[in-house]
Amino acid sequence: MNNIISFAEMVLGSEMFGFGYEFGRPAVFIFNYPIYLYAIIIVTGMSIAIALSAYFFKKRGYDPYDICIYAIVIIPFAILGARLYVFVFPWDGSAIGDWSGFFTDFRNGGLGIYGGVIFGYISGYVVVRAKKQDMRIVADSIMPGLFIAQSIGRWGNFVNQEAYGPVIENPAWQWFPFGVNIHGTWHYATFFYESLGTFIGFVACLFLVRSKHYKLGWLSAFYGIYYGLVRLFVEGLRTDSLYLWIGSTMTDIKISQLVSVVAILLGLFTLSVIYRKELHSLYSRLFKSEYHEVSASRFIVGAISGVSLVIAVVMFVLGGETRFLIGLLFALIALYSFAGVFALVDRLRLYCKKCGKRNEPEEGVITENENLTVKKYVLIAGIAVTGVAGLAFIVSGIVTSVPNQIVLGVALAGVCVALSVMLYGTAVKLNGAKCDLTAREKECRCDCGNVYKVKLNKFLLFLFPYKVYMDFGVENLKEYVDPEAEERKRKKAEKKAAKTDKNAKID
């Protein structure tokens, strides 16, 4: 085991038991084995996060021990994701293509929080589905812990003397923790700003869950928007940021700023889902009836699609990596709203031509089985899209000789192919013998006596679900009671009762 230590400089004790530096990083030495202070701080943060999540689990009626199952699944995936993040988006050109140290050099560090959060969220979702729990409750229980873990974890960067900003020239600002002294030069203490920012986020979480207006999903949305903003600011100052590489070209896009923008957009999207009902009722006020609303929306959504398409084309033509990404986003909006026009045209068929009332077919607009069929295809296509796009970016990290345009082209083509497969696959499946949708017309009976037939496209119904307002206000606020502890208590009480009974008899 002695060969583990290569560059130890001891400060206290010996390499057997002591404290010192290994490769210039502070570490505790136990039995000739160095444990980096960085790791100790990260693990402390994680432990506090788990304990805090268990507390919120209990408060919300879930077994607090369930958090162990989440931790066992989430933590390894989160570490893998954090590790992948720095390899897929290497921070300097020389690291590109060198994946040899991915596993072997694990102890040498290199973790990206965002990679951990993304992989952690996905693996957590799998457990939620397996345990049939509510993702909104689980996510909201974990968020305060995540904030505090990040707040503590950033001090790991402090002990490693990394993640700092540019030099502070003005002596008036050369003090800790505004600045940090790195080998005699004062730098902006970006690690501290983020630590403070996430700590404020943690405190805000505690206030948010206690609010009487609290809705499920608030904390997830808050994390996306708030941490996105904090990171956007901190990353703007940092000098050691990871940049996005496309092919052999290093772009001027800081990858964490890009992910921050996506996180903020996802947070805003989550909020819009939570307040969907309220937003819709505001929109409805613009029209005199529901029929008019659907009818007019066709043109509004069509206009959004057209404008987005124009923006996308302009961005693609102008060129450049940032514009390419913005263009891609608008192309997706154009595509989605284009499908939305067809969904609205489809939906208009539900209205009675005589009196204008909306009538649902007796057996409902979509059966559970049909819904599942469509979901399956959307899932397959989703995996295909992510796979192809991910591959394109990973390839850009492995093969340095691939020109930028080719990688971008492959990514775009991959997305297009996957979308076509999704649309074609769904259409074939839905039109097939098992799920004959176009042939079957459903009957609508109106109160005015009019009976009419409608044909609805299930795929469009899946993409644009019909007035499903999830209630984000319901939450199991009854505290969790451990059935075993309850049983023990009951037995104890019984014993006591028996004893007093016995005593009474003796008397």
What residue ranges bind Zn ion (CB under 5 A)?
352, 354-355, 357, 446, 448, 450
Nearer to Zn ion, 99 or 452 (CB): 452
Paired tokens of 333: 């909006």
Task: For the CB of residue 235, give the shortest distance to Zn ion in the complex, in Å.
Answer: 58
Residue in the structure block whose two tokens are 């689980």: 138
**Cβ distance to Zn ion smaller for residue 214 or 452:** 452
Which one, 131 or 349, has the nearer CB to Zn ion? Answer: 349
Contact call for residues 241 and 256 (beta carbons, < 8 A): yes
End-to-end alpha carbon distance in the chain: 72
H helices of 107-185, where?
113-131, 135-159
Of 252 and 447, which CB lies nearer to Zn ion in the complex structure? Answer: 447
C-alpha span between 70 and 63 (Å, rounded):
12
Of 441 and 482, nearer to Zn ion (C-beta) is: 441
Task: Tell me how far, at minimum, the Cβ of 283 lies from Zn ion, in Å.
Answer: 25
Smallest separation, CB 347 to Zn ion (Å): 16
Pairing type for strands 179-182 and 25-30 reads unpaired
Nearest to 146 by CA among 91, 86, 38, 220: 220
Q: H/E/C letters for each residue in 177-231?
A: CCEEEECCEEEECHHHHHHHHHHHHHHHHHHHHHCCCCCCCHHHHHHHHHHHHHH
CA-CA distance, 55 to 224, in Å (whole number)? Answer: 22
Reduce the DSSP state of residue 160 to 3 states and report it. coil
Smallest separation, CB 56 to Zn ion (Å): 50
Nearest to 194 by CA among 219, 230, 238: 230
Q: How far is the CB of 452 from Zn ion (least distance, A)?
A: 8
Nearest-approach distance from CB 448 to Zn ion, in angstroms? 3
Nearer to Zn ion, 434 or 453 (CB): 453
> Can you state the percent helix, strand and coil of the chain, rounding each to 5?
65, 10, 25
Kindly tell me which of 233 and 452 has the beta carbon lying closer to Zn ion. 452
Nearer to Zn ion, 356 or 387 (CB): 356
As measured in angstroms, the least distance from the Cβ of 360 to Zn ion is: 13
Instruction: For the sheet with 8-13, list strands across it.
Output: 8-13, 17-22, 25-30, 33-36
Q: How far is the CB of 449 from Zn ion (least distance, A)?
A: 7
Do residues 79 and 43 touch, judged by C-beta distance below 8 A?
no
Measured from the CB of residue 286, what is the shortest distance to Zn ion in angstroms? Answer: 24
**Amino acid identity of 152?**
I
Least Å distance, CB 451 to Zn ion, is: 9
**Shorter beta-carbon distance to Zn ion: residue 445 or 489:** 445
Say whether the peptide bond before residue 177 is cis (omega within 30 degrees of 0): yes
Indicate the burial class of 83 (C-beta count within 10 angstroms; 0-12, 13-18, 19 or more): buried
Q: 353 or 478: whose CB is closer to Zn ion?
A: 353
Cα distance between residue 235 and residue 191, in whole Å? 10
Q: Give me the least distance between CB of 354 and Zn ion, in Å please.
A: 4
Instruction: Find, among 312, 315, 367, 45, the residue nearest to 199 by Cα.
Output: 45
Complex with Zn ion: residue 429 or 442, whichever CB lies closer:
442
Q: How far is the CB of 358 from Zn ion (least distance, A)?
A: 9
Task: State which residue, 249 or 450, has the beta carbon closest to Zn ion.
Answer: 450
User: 442 by DSSP, 3-state: which?
Assistant: strand
Q: Which is nearer to Zn ion, 298 or 357 (CB)?
A: 357
Contact by Cβ (8 Å): 19, 11: yes
Q: What is the β-pairing status of strands 17-22 and 8-13? A: antiparallel
Q: How far is the CB of 453 from Zn ion (least distance, A)?
A: 14
CB–CB of 429/435 below 8 Å?
yes
**Chain center to CA of 61:** 24
Angular region, 183: left φ>0, alpha ψ -120 to 50, beta rest: left
